[in-house]
Structure 1
Amino acid sequence: MPLPPSARSETHAGLLYALLAYSVWGLMTVYWKAVIWVPSVELISHRVLWTLVLILPLVLLMQQGQALQAVLRRPRLLGVLAITATLVSINWLGFVWAVNNDRVVQASLGYFINPLFSVLLGVICLRERLRKWQWLAVCMAAAGVVWMAIRLGEVPWISLLLASSFALYGLLRKFTPVTATVGLTVETLIITPVACAYLVYQSISGSGLAFASHGWTGMLLVAASGITTALPLLWFANAARRLPLSTLGLMQYLAPSLQLALGVFVYHESFTRDHLVAFGLIWSGLLVFSLDTLHIQWRQRQTAKALSI
């Protein structure tokens, strides 16, 4: 049965928002390379501050001020958001460090395996049961990581850090009753004192800050980190309201695909036959996982139709 015009319009808008969000996340490597003169920790500190400068007025313009105040009055919820703020900061810092140290390919690997980390967390923390094809997908991804560790002589720790920190972040936020915008605002408010303390320490310790070392152009470029953080999140929130989770789940691979392409073809990072085998195993696992998820959802829809007749 074809969708009515209004539903098609909503779907098209959702696809556009998702494309914008995942494209910016995938191409953000270019931005971090453009501000590579700023050390990673200082850069993340600025990212926190400029994100707060941008998103706090947005929350008020979107008339979510009351929701923000309600969260700030709940100590237990603030405690959970303090943990998620720490996790997202670790993820941000890990990614920026990877870009600054020519590990874009490893960073992309982390975001490819992130969905399977989320599945494992569901098994460990929520006692969810995996279907046989899901177990196969997880095992194939694990085999890819082990292959890389053995053949390349190093554990892809930055990939594992990015995947695990973001999977844990997603798990905690799943049970946190706040919107994406309000949640990011509170997380940013929580981590801002740490960011300010670091910047003040650097400025008075003799090391100095790199922020102003490239004049006004450089300062504006660093300040743009607030826009590159907040806008994709808002686009993603709009996409999530309009699209099925299965569609979002498939589109999320756009970001690491763009990161991988940039790492190999633009920044000329190493991508050997051993890398291809490792990524091939992980991609195959993701394909198995995605096909199994789509098949189950199709069966559920068919069952619902049969029961409605």
Structure 2
Amino acid sequence: MWGFFPLYIRVLRPAGAMEILAHRVVWSVAFVALLLTVVRRWRYIRELAQRPGKLAGIALAAALIAVNWGMYIFGVNSERVVETALGYFIGPLVMVLLGVVALRERLNLAQWSAVGIGTLAVAVLTIDYGRLPYIALTLATSFGAYSLVKKRLGVPAAEGLFIESAVLALPALAYLVWLTLTTGGTFGQGAGHTTLLVVAGAATAIPLLLFAGAANRIPMTGIGILQYIAPILQLGCGVLVFHEPMPPARLAGFALVWLALIIFTVDGLRTTRRRVAEREAEHALVA
């Protein structure tokens, strides 16, 4: 669903990035509120309302995901789908660096090699673009920081998404009212277009809820590898559907990113297998 999201955003034209983002926020609140009502999960929301520390953390997460969503929509609408795909390819490497900076984690040689190759890839792509790939870097950094905040908060998926969207709902509504009073916006311009804007709430919430459910059932190494499916599909949309250019220098930059991810993934699999083997050995000794 995330991988084919560029196709959905493109059919929302002529709505601009900010209008799409505002509708995405507002209708996400409505969709998740309906979901919480159906499953009767409002009790946790009331408990969270009495914990200002948690609410402050959720507000920070909301700001980070708003930056991520807004930059992604802008990238797709400005015909830079390939660069948005790059952002999600380098995301795992950025998360590793955030782990070092924020959590004081130590990297092994393979992980440092992957980060170094990823940095070289950004340098190659900067030369190719003639500028820093700021869309990709913003997407990777904002989602990495969002993931870090969410990890520390430990809030259930649906409840967390509702509060994040609720934090953004008031400014989003204010923007939509202002847009309606000035330029008029695009909401209401045809039943099909209006329906697609409303569906943006479900299109935002459902993949996030599915991801949260999968994270509780699949080992982290599996989740990490599956994360590459979305940018691969996004890259395919950019090159094969929207016919964005992929000159040799840009392809070389992506190849370096993929090499870094291969090193990173193989190292992660080896580490996981070693830990499993150690745990099994400990259980055998206890038995």
Q: Normalised by the shorter chain, which TM-score bucket? A: over 0.9
2:55 equivalent to 1:78: yes
For 2:167 and 2:55, the matched residues in 1 are separated by: 9
1:1-309 matches, cutoff 5 A: 24-204=1-181, 206-213=182-189, 215-309=190-284
- What TM-score, normalized to structure 1? 0.90
Amino acid at match of 2:127: I
Percent identical pairs in the alignment equals 37
Mapped contact 1:26–1:258 kept (Cα < 8 A):
yes
1:62 to partner: Cα distance: 2.1
For 1:306 and 1:192, the matched residues in 2 are separated by: 52
**Which SS does the other structure have where 1:121 is aligned?**
helix
For 1:26-58, what per-residue CA distance to the aligned partner results, in whole angstroms no more than 9, with x for missing partners? 101110011021011011101111111111111
Amino acid at match of 1:121: L
**Which SS does the other structure have where 2:155 is aligned?**
coil
Mapped contact 1:90–1:165 kept (Cα < 8 A):
yes
For 1:177 and 1:68, the matched residues in 2 are separated by: 14
1:174 to partner: Cα distance: 0.5
1:177 to partner: Cα distance: 2.8
Mapped contact 1:152–1:274 kept (Cα < 8 A):
no
Structure 2: runs of 5 or more not aligned: none
1:154 to partner: Cα distance: 1.4
Amino acid at match of 2:89: F
- What TM-score, normalized to structure 2? 0.97
Amino acid at match of 2:29: L
For 1:66-118, what per-residue CA distance to the aligned partner results, in whole angstroms no more than 9, with x for missing partners? 11111122111111111110110110010100010000000000000011101
**Which SS does the other structure have where 1:298 is aligned?**
helix
Deviates more, 1:30-39 or 1:72-81: 72-81
For 1:2-38, what per-residue CA distance to the aligned partner results, in whole angstroms no more than 9, with x for missing partners? xxxxxxxxxxxxxxxxxxxxxx001011100110210
Q: CA RMSD in A?
A: 0.9
1:274 to partner: Cα distance: 0.7
Query: Which consecutive aligned stretches of 4+ in structure 1 deviate over 4 angstroms post-superposition?
Result: none
For 1:118 and 1:62, the matched residues in 2 are separated by: 33
Amino acid at match of 2:75: A
1:303 to partner: Cα distance: 1.4
